[in-house]
Each structure stands twice: as structure tokens, then as C-alpha cells.
Chains A and B, each alone.
Chain A
Amino acid sequence: MHINPLDISTPATELNFSGKNVLIVDDYMEMRSILRDMISSCGAEVKKIHMATNGNEAIAWLKKVPFDIVLCDLILGSGKNGQQVLEEAKYQSLVGPSCLWLMITAEKTMEAVTGTAEYQPDAYLLKPVTEASLRSRLAKIWTKKAAFAEIYKAMKQQDYSKAMHLCDQRLASDKAHAADLLRTKCDLLLVSGEYDRAKQVLEDILAVRDLPWAKAALAKILLKKNDLDAAKHLLEETTEANPAYLEAQDLLAHTLQVMGDLEEAGNVLERTVKLSPNSVTRQKNLGQVAMKLGKLEDAERAFRKSVSLGENSVLRTADAYLGLAKACSANKNVEQALKVLGQLNKNFAADEVRTKALAVEGMIHHQSGNAEKAKQIADELSQSISNDSIHPDSDGALEIARLLLTTGDKEKAIQLLQSEIKNNPESATLLRDVAEIFDQAGMGEEGSRLIETSRQEAMLIMNRGVLLISKGQYEEAVSAMRDAYSAMPANIRVLLNLAYVIITYMQKKGPTPELIEEARHSLQAANELSPGESRFVRLSAALNELTTLR
């Protein structure tokens, strides 16, 4: 327990560097050489240390060599910054889960507080980096990676119950990682839809310590249960006490948006963007909210920022370009708007994006008074939909409907909107978006009626199968859900209910390869629409059980 001054300079942990590849990324020559000397005196083999002076060089190295350690400065001069290099490396799977990534920064950044985001480094190291701090950090992360290796493996295989079991096992003895283990366990309970157990664990944690992540997790459960007021209240409390915990800020903005309080959602986003201005996604969200509020200049500014941040980032989104084009058009800058769409088409090749962009282009022409051109695009899109040659996503369908309504193809537009409502009848946000489109076309009242009828119809069909199952009418249930599926193929509840009735049917009457295939297809489609739904996890497990029985 007592340390004398001679002991404190010698680190406790021995690091094993044998065979390990190290990448150093820094734009300053002096820093590179300092870091190289430091890591080699920690034990790394000199010939296994590689160096890059900028983001592109780093990516090139990462493609060539499987690195075990990356020491990367956050600021790399012009071009990609360290965060963008990390994002690209993870996105392209250039680094595996065993690779240790240390981000070196001059000072603590807001992004360091987030904790468990997908594109986080293993640690941030503050300058000046000393050999002692480097050693102790490397040792700590290696131990943590070892402790979590099996758990992450089980999570990757979506074997959440095994992962949870491993967490519990470790929690019993591993005090050093207790905090992270508990947090992982809560995440696992959340993804497997065990909200009540998750809530219990979180409340136990919070009874001892005010932890912002635990409060945010509790708010997520409230959101899942559609208790929006309680979620909002909890998140307000959390963000008030911990403004730097950006995840809670984003969650609060999202909650307010779902509640329809755009004004306040915009305020929260404004505040958060001030704290952390370099998020492609957050700037885009801010742009979208500002746009809906009619704050056109703010919208344009935010979208522009998102687009420019996205230039070097794999996380760039087409929606930022579309938003910017719309904002420019609304600000009476048609030329700019069309130019942005041109850039969009250069950067994004996906059909859904192109379709959406075309619809937006049509609206831009309409707004600029070029009715002929708008009509031409509208006809083209309408034709493609009739031919079944394009398959717009939900946003795309709304954009097309907006254009068709303004150019006079009312019937087709209403059809599109009705089918979107049926695919997503429980999304308050979508219903509001549809209502806004009707309003804009001067069809407010008729629109409200249409929305309500479609929604009720959808709810009825969605639940018919489950009702029949509960009455023991298994065959009728399957056939009812199949009908629902053909009417509403992108409705997540329909897809999950179809899988549910088929699985229940098989549990009663025995599995067949065709039914297993049908259930699996339905589950996969649901998971693509909304990844990681708790019902998906439970139904997949039930289906796997049936398959092993055979």
C-alpha cells in the first residue's frame, strides 16, 4: 500500500508488444518522432512502427497493414481530421475490435464525454503525452479489451442472453470494470427488449449515484413505452445537470420533435451544436427542424455546415444536401439549389437518393415559376411509380407526393401518402409531415380525414392476426397477416406480426421449411426497416429454436 518515491516512476504493468503493428498519425514531424520514440521505449518494435502525416496517408496504411495500435492526433491540418480517419477506418472495417485507437488532443473535447458511440476511439490522450501516461493508458485499454472480448463476440453474434450471462459472471469478480460491465448489461437488456428488467437495474444504479448515461437509458425506456412527458422531464433534468452529455441532449431534441414541440427541439439542437459543432448528423437535424419552423436562413446555415463537414466523412448524408437545396430554393436562390442537387448526384449513387433528389428538383422548378419543367419531372416520376421501376423510401415518397399534389396529380399523390401512413400509422412525426404536405397544397381538411381513415384501417389490419391467434384460429391468423403484408409491405408491426403468427402456428402444428423461410424473410425485412427491435430479437430466438428442433 505504501509507495516510496523510487517506485512511482516504474510502471506496474508490463506491456507485450511482440508482433504488434503501430501506426502514428500526426502532421507535425517533431510530434511523430516523439511519439515513435515513446512507443518504442514502451516496447514496440521499431520496424513495426509506421507513420502517416495526414488522413489520406493514414487510410492508405490502414488498408495495407492490420494495425494493433493507432496513435492519432485529432487535428491533422487540412483534409480529414483524426475523427474522420477513425470513422472511415471503422466504417470500412479497416480496424477490428482488437485494434486499440488512441486519439491525441490538446484539450478535452465534448465528444470525449459521449462514452459508447459507434465511432469513438478507445481513449483520448491529452497533450503533453508522456511515456508514463501512454503506458498506463495502453495497459488499461488492453485489460479492458481482454475483459470484454467474449462479451463483444456474443453481442456480434446477437446472442444477447449469452453476452448478459458473461457480464453477470464478470461483475461478480471484476471490480475494475464494474461500471462498464453494468452499462453494457443495461444496453443488452435494452436491445433485447427487457425493459422492465433494464428499468430495475437502472433504478438500482441511480439510487446510489446520479449517472447521466443511466438517466438517458431510463428515458429511452420511457420513449419506447411512449411515455413522452416523463421522458422529456427526465432528459431535461439530465441535460440541466450534465450539459456536456450530448447523447442526452440529442435524445431530448428527438423527444421534443416526436411531441411536436419543434420550437423547443430547435433550441436544444442550437444549444448542443454550440457545444459540439462538428457533427454531420446533428447539423442536419438542426437544419431540418429550422426548416420546419420556417427559419430559412438558420436552416441553410446548418445544412451548409453539415454538407461541408461531410466532405471528408463517411458519415455524410444525402439529406443534408437535399435540405440545403430546399433551403436555398426557399431563400429564392434557385441556381444555388440546383447546383447543390448536382453535387448530391455526384456524391450519392443510390436509387432512392436519386429519386428523392428528382422530386426535390421538381419542387424547386415549381417554386421558381417554371411550371413546365416541374410538370415534366412530376410526370416522369409518376410514370416510374406506375411501372414499378422506382422504389422510393418513406421520405422519397413524401417528396414525390408533395410534387404531384402541386402539379395536379392529386390521385396518385393521395395514394402514395395513404400507403406511407399505412406502413407507419403509429409515427406521430410521419402523420404530421403528411398533414403538412396536405396543408401546403391547400387540402388541410380533406387531408386530415384521409389521414385518420388510413391510420384506423391500418391499425385494424395490423392487429387482426394477433387477435385471431388469441382466439386459437391459427390458420386464419396467418392468412390475415399475409393479406396485411401485401397491403402494407413496409409496415414494421405487420412484418413482425406476420412472423409472430407463423411462428406460433408452427409451434402448434409443427415447422415446415417454407414457413420457416417466410417467417425469416419477414423478420429480416423488419430488421432492415428498424434494426434491433426488441420483438425482432425475441422472435428470431423463437424461430431459431424451431429450426433446431427439426
Chain B
Amino acid sequence: MVGISNKKQTNTTNIPVVFNMANFLVSSVHDMKNSVSMLICGLDKVLTSVEAAELSTHAELVQMNHEAKRINNRLIQLLTLYKLGQKIYPFDPQSVCLDDFLRTTVAQYAQLLKFRQIHLEVRVDPGLYWYFDEDLISGVIGNALNNAMRHTHDHILISAEEHEGGLVLRVEDDGDGYPPELLEGNGNVMQSVDFHGGSTGLGLYFSAMVAGMHRNQGTQGDLCLENGGSLQGACFVLHLP
């Protein structure tokens, strides 16, 4: 999409058709996003009225809600990548309280975690603040969390700490870990299309892109995938300067 719409100034007959395609894609993504938003709002409304004890009787709704949020996140990632390519993304790093940030991010998954009986632990110093684009990093952490939820046995750990003048955000699970091909491709996320089994690679590409956009005093953020960690599973590690 990125390369195509650069040609919008030319007047050859076939180009406008291609250009319209990019336009259609973008405007459709917008439109889908609005619909999905309504869907999520509606499902949230129903689910919040359900007592915790009865949640198991609404298994389908919980799953639907989760899938709707996944679609929403994907659409946001697509739009964001499009805008990044066009250099029109409103990148906006702000001072963020990590404790608040992680609570808000994981709160979106509370129901599903409860429902799947996954134990999620958040480790963060309440006094920790860092500069980053909250929306982008929230997308990255949400993506990692989604992935961890699919592959964990029953335990996920999210942590944030300052290390050697940078911020380290970790999402760890107690699953089987990343496949070796993926770990070898570390550093070149474009190649690792088959992300953790059956994924499109979009999430990882997005995350690496976002990490790299964060710069300070000559250093830039990066993304690292490892196996092991404190839960002996997959570790998604984001460094921000």
C-alpha cells in the first residue's frame, strides 16, 4: 500500500485504479474498525452485567469478545503501519506511569484470563515512569499477551524495570517456548512470517517497527525473543531507550 499511493500524482490510466484500491483498503479498515468498536462495546456491556460465578455459562460470549478485540487490534496495527509508511503517524511519546499502564493494558484481558484460569502476574515498581507512545506500546504488549495466552499452560508474567538506563518490558509464559526457526530469525523479523505457529507475522513486524521508532540520545528501542526466563517458556522482551 505504501509504495502504491506515492503514485497518486501521475495521470496514467491504470494507476488511479490501483490508487483507489489503496484508498478503499484504508477507508474499509476504518469502517470495519468502527463496526468492531460497536461490537466490543455491546459485548462488554453484556459481559459486565454477568456475575463472575456465571461467567462459565457465557463461554461463547467471552470468546467472541476476545476475537472482536483481536480483530480490532489487527486493524489498528494495519492502519498504524500504513500511516507509518506514509510518515503521517502522530507519534507521541509521553511520560507514562508503568504501573497504571500495565494495569490498564491487562484489564482488557481480565475476563478471558479468568475464564481460561490463567494466572497473570504483573511485576512493576509503582514509582516507575518512562517516555513512550502509550498507544503503540499498548498494542505491542497486547499482542504479546495474546500470544502468550495461546501458548501458556496457566501462568503469565508481565514485568517492567529500568536496566542500564533503559526500560525493559517482558512478557513471559510457561509454555513450550518459541520454535527454534523464530529464534534464529531474531533481528530480522520480516522473515519470520510463521510467528509462533499459524500467525501472520504482522504482530511481530509491528512490534519491531514500534520498538525501533523509540529513540533517545542516539539509542533506539529493540525487540528480542528468547526461551527460558523465570517461567521457563517464551519471553518477549522489549527494550526502550
Contacts and interface: CB of A to CB of B under 8 A. Distances in A.
Verify that A and B bind, or say they do not.
yes
Interface of A: 1-6, 8-9, 11-12, 30-31, 34, 37-38, 41, 106-110, 112-113, 126-133, 136, 140, 175-176, 178-180, 208-211, 241-244, 274-275
Interface stretch (B127-135, B196-204, B222-230): B127-135
Interface in B11-56: 30, 33-34, 36-38, 40-42, 44-45, 48
Given A3-B121, A8-B120, A34-B42, A179 B94 contact: yes
A209 B131 CA distance: 9
Given A4-B120, A9-B110, A130-B108, A34 B103 contact: no
Contact of A112 (B72, B90, B97): B90
A175 B98 CA distance: 12
B111 interface: yes
B215 A210 contact: yes
A175 B127 contact: yes
B106 to A, nearest CB: 5
Given A30-B38, A136-B104, A140-B100, A244 B90 contact: yes
B95 A5 contact: no
A38 B42 CA distance: 11
A239 to B, nearest CB: 12
Contact of B90 (A109, A176, A178): A109
Given A2-B121, A37-B45, A136-B104, A108 B38 contact: no
A108 B135 contact: yes
A177 to B, nearest CB: 9
Contact of A243 (B76, B87, B119): B87
Contacts of A136: 100, 103-104
A5 B127 CA distance: 21
B89 A244 contact: yes
B123 A2 contact: yes
Given A126-B135, A128-B40, A2 B122 contact: yes
B126 A1 contact: yes
A275 B92 CA distance: 14
A112 B92 contact: yes
Interface of B: 30, 33-34, 36-38, 40-42, 44-45, 48, 72, 76, 79, 87-92, 94-95, 97, 100, 103-104, 106-108, 110-111, 113-114, 118-127, 129, 131, 135, 215-217
A244 B91 contact: yes
A106 B37 contact: yes
B92 A113 contact: yes
Given A34-B41, A180-B95, A241-B215, 10 more contacts: A5-B119, A8-B122, A106-B34, A107-B33, A107-B76, A108-B92, A130-B41, A131-B48, A175-B127, A244-B92
Contacts of A179: 94-95, 129
Nearest 7 Cβ contacts at the A-B interface: A179-B95, A9-B110, A128-B37, A127-B37, A128-B40, A244-B90, A113-B92
Contacts of A113: 90-92
Contacts of A128: 36-38, 40-41, 44, 72
B93 to A, nearest CB: 8
A90 B119 CA distance: 47
B91 A9 contact: no
